[in-house]
Structure 1
Amino acid sequence: MTSTMPRLSAMMFLQFFIWGAWFVTLGTYLVQGPLQASASQVATAFLSQSIGAIVAPFLVGLIADRYFAAQRILAVLHLAGAALLWGASVATSFSTFAACVMAYMLLFMPTLALVNSIAMRHMQAPEKQFPPVRVAGSIGWIVAGVLIGWLGWEQGQRLELTFRMAATASLLLGLYALSLPHTPPLERQRNARLGEILGLETAARLLKSRSYLVFFLASIAICIPLSFYYNFTNPFLNDLGVRGAAGLQSLGQVSEVLLMLAMPFLFVRLGVKVMLAVGMAAWVLRYVMFAFGDPGSGFALLVIGIVLHGICYDFFFVTGQIYTDAHAGPEHRSSAQGFITLATYGVGMLIGTFLSGAVVEHYTTEAGRDWQQIWLFPAGVALVVLVAFLFLFRERPAAAPATH
């Protein structure tokens, strides 16, 4: 079992290295690269993540979990993904590029659930062993960002190479997955009902709780401003002339790693409501920092805004996963996590992606983009969500023991 942990960590490292290698700089490549995409086209490209998140439970639940060993379908998805990423790097029109990225994300998003499933199935105590393994994924994302900055691909306008780097890593993980511990479907997964597989029964059970319903709606709503960060932070920093923007953004993952390790300690002392509220407040503060930051005297504001990612992500999303787990119970754990992922990365970011593209386009003139107004918009949305959450959410005592 001990020798398995490094192998699972390597899997996580490659999984998130692939994602971080091209996704962070996607907006900049589209706007400044050979495709010269509009803000709406940038939003369309990022839309692939949301559609992939919505499709993922169907692919994993209906196919992988019932008929194939998880490590084998992980291998197939990443090998096919490598070809699509390479295709995106050589696309000469936006329509071809968007088709490659859309097809790729339909394959990639299910792999996020697959790597979690493979890892947890081979752990005796997932609640203790999973965080260090998952941290390797955040390190992979950091390494990808640092490499892009070190190689100067943003300044040299060679961001098509990020897709080729990701394609190479995807090929490597596809081959490596075949050597991972055998993870066949469980008997109960083979015989599960359709509603159980897709998480519909679990969803109905969770949403009967008023506190969970408020959390669920807040999760969808907070992902609307989240889309602005994922879609337009890198183009924003490059517009300002910040050198090595992708490397600078990796500071967000550094803070995420540090705070993730402190989560059990913080959760017990602060509780669900405070953790979730602080996470949402961090989104408001981050966008205000971006609105008033600049590469000169206001550079510290940009750095603080990026470093706040640890609080933004861990305090809201990781706390939300723990809260969901506490409400669902052991029998419904997997389907409950799939349900909240579909709601956030699927529905919430789908709305946010459309809205972010429209807002950026609205504040774009011949003189350029009015980034201050652009960032104040998601700051306002996040503030409204925070205030509504504070008034409506009532923490259930049963959700407190979250570190089990």
Structure 2
Amino acid sequence: MNIKFKLTIMSFLQFFVWGAWLITVANYWFGTKQWSGAEFGAIFSTLGLSSIVMPALTGIIADKWINAEKLYGILHILSGLALLYIPQVNDPVTFYWVIFAAMLCYMPTISLSNSVAYNILKNNNFDVVKVFPPIRVWGTIGFIVAMWITNLSGNKASANMFYFSAIAAFVLGVYSFTLPKCPPQKLISEKASIVEKLGLNAFKLFGTYKMALFFLFSMFLGAALQLTNMYGDVYLSEFASVPEYADSFVVKYSTIIMSISQISETLFILAIPFFLKKFGIKQVMLISMLAWVLRFGLFAYGNPVDGLWMIILSCIVYGMAFDFFNISGSLFVETSTDSKIRSSAQGLFMMMSNGFGAFFGGLVSGIVIDTFFTHNGQRDWHNIWLTFAAYALVIAVLFAVMFKHKHNPDEVENVTH
């Protein structure tokens, strides 16, 4: 089988596993199980917790002891077992621990899938920069296809979404053992300290005001990154309680509407080089923050009939909000850190945004929604989204005022080519 095709299948299944339940789990939690919102926030915090430590630990294991493709397969099989057990769970505390176990195994496979692909492409003399992006796009397609299957099969609120995910995880786990071998690189010195091995030496960047500020804002904005993944689908589904919207396309096919966000994500990636060269890294990050304000604000005022355009526009804006922050932030780290700790610094960026940010965002949002915006089991989505929009606006204003970075077109040109 063609190498690029094999990696395309891997990328597709990697994100199919996630897409089968990530966007729709709130419907299962609030609708089918009738559990509370505060505890639901903790469920999404497991993504952050798992992203803080596990990628570094599995990276060390793959670098020293076991083939990356085998470790990748083992982790997917283990996450599949946890996902397979979820439908048997009947209390929120057990649900939390089982989904946490699944995420401890799944989250590190995101970076491992990149490592495996890079390794295999390099060993087969492919131009990674040219060949990898079209392969990675199939990951987003896999995520979208999983969302559509979950919705169109009538399972956006049923336990079957976890079965879909588990089956895909098992298939990918077994399939990964057929991939070309990716033996340990043993790039980490035996004499290296545990701090160096875990990539924690990048924490010394907090000693620089500008970098400390950047990582702090990464965490604060990272708290917003998963909010619409957490609550978007259930927000649209709960329009069913309003008689005039009960039979609308949005209510029936909420997951398909939400998939516009992922489609938009693939398109905005193509626009990033233009925006970076034209406006610079700081301005692109600021555009991302303002896009989050729009994302939440449009949800606050949208509805399935005359406000449908707002919901769709919110989903389109998501691509800009998500991509512009992640890629321009990564680019800032690339151009502002010493080459000796650059990989660790990139890991720290992901740890602050997708780790600590996602953890606190999931935990705090669940408590805030349950305490202030839930009355007699009904969630006040208008004010929930306005609160999230206000949060993003405060972050954007503070970032614009406090973060100083001069635009250098040549700097951007050198990194993006």
Q: Same fold judged by TM-score > 0.5?
A: yes
Relative to structure 1, the CA distance from residue 74 to residue 367 in structure 2 (aligned partners, 3 Å threshold; closer, same or farther) is: closer
* Equivalent position to 2:272, from 263, 270, 287: 263
**What does residue range 2-401 of structure 1 map to in structure 2 within 5 Å?**
3-33=2-32, 35-121=33-119, 122-123=121-122, 124-154=126-156, 157=157, 159-189=158-188, 191=190, 192-204=192-204, 206-241=205-240, 242-328=251-337, 331-361=340-370, 362-366=372-376, 368-396=378-406, 397=408, 399-400=411-412, 401=414
**Residues 265-311 of structure 1: CA distance to partner in whole angstroms, max 9, x if unpaired?**
33223310121111110000111101111112111111111121110
The TM-score, its normalising length taken from structure 2, stands at: 0.90
Indicate conservation of the 8 Å contact 2:21/2:165, yes or no: yes
Indicate conservation of the 8 Å contact 1:57/1:198, yes or no: no
Indicate conservation of the 8 Å contact 1:57/1:110, yes or no: yes
Indicate conservation of the 8 Å contact 1:227/1:356, yes or no: no
For residues 5 and 332 of structure 1, the distance between their equivalents in structure 2, rounded to whole angstroms, comes to 31
For residues 225 and 149 of structure 1, the distance between their equivalents in structure 2, rounded to whole angstroms, comes to 25
Relative to structure 1, the CA distance from residue 45 to residue 243 in structure 2 (aligned partners, 3 Å threshold; closer, same or farther) is: same
For residues 324 and 252 of structure 1, the distance between their equivalents in structure 2, rounded to whole angstroms, comes to 26
Shift of 1:120: 1.8
Q: Between 314-323 and 136-145, report the one with greater CA deviation.
A: 314-323
Secondary structure (helix, strand or coil) at the match of 1:23 reads coil
Q: Which runs of 5+ in 1 are unaligned?
A: none
Aligned amino acid, residue 203 of structure 2: A
Indicate conservation of the 8 Å contact 2:298/2:311, yes or no: yes
Aligned amino acid, residue 326 of structure 1: T
Shift of 1:318: 1.8
Indicate conservation of the 8 Å contact 2:55/2:107, yes or no: no
**Residues 89-137 of structure 1: CA distance to partner in whole angstroms, max 9, x if unpaired?**
2222223322210100011111111011111223444333332222111
Aligned amino acid, residue 275 of structure 2: L
Shift of 1:330: 5.1
For residues 337 and 111 of structure 2, the distance between their equivalents in structure 1, rounded to whole angstroms, comes to 17
For residues 234 and 365 of structure 2, the distance between their equivalents in structure 1, rounded to whole angstroms, comes to 13
Q: Which runs of 5+ in 2 are unaligned?
A: 241-250
Secondary structure (helix, strand or coil) at the match of 1:22 reads coil
For residues 72 and 309 of structure 1, the distance between their equivalents in structure 2, rounded to whole angstroms, comes to 35
Shift of 1:331: 4.5
**Residues 223-262 of structure 1: CA distance to partner in whole angstroms, max 9, x if unpaired?**
2233422221111111113221111111111111111133
Indicate conservation of the 8 Å contact 1:272/1:399, yes or no: no
Equivalenced residue count is 398
For residues 208 and 411 of structure 2, the distance between their equivalents in structure 1, rounded to whole angstroms, comes to 12
Indicate conservation of the 8 Å contact 2:201/2:341, yes or no: no
The TM-score, its normalising length taken from structure 1, stands at: 0.93
Number of the residue aligned with 1:402: 415
% of aligned pairs identical? 33
RMSD: 1.9
Aligned amino acid, residue 262 of structure 2: Q
Shift of 1:143: 0.7
Secondary structure (helix, strand or coil) at the match of 1:308 reads helix
Shift of 1:347: 0.7
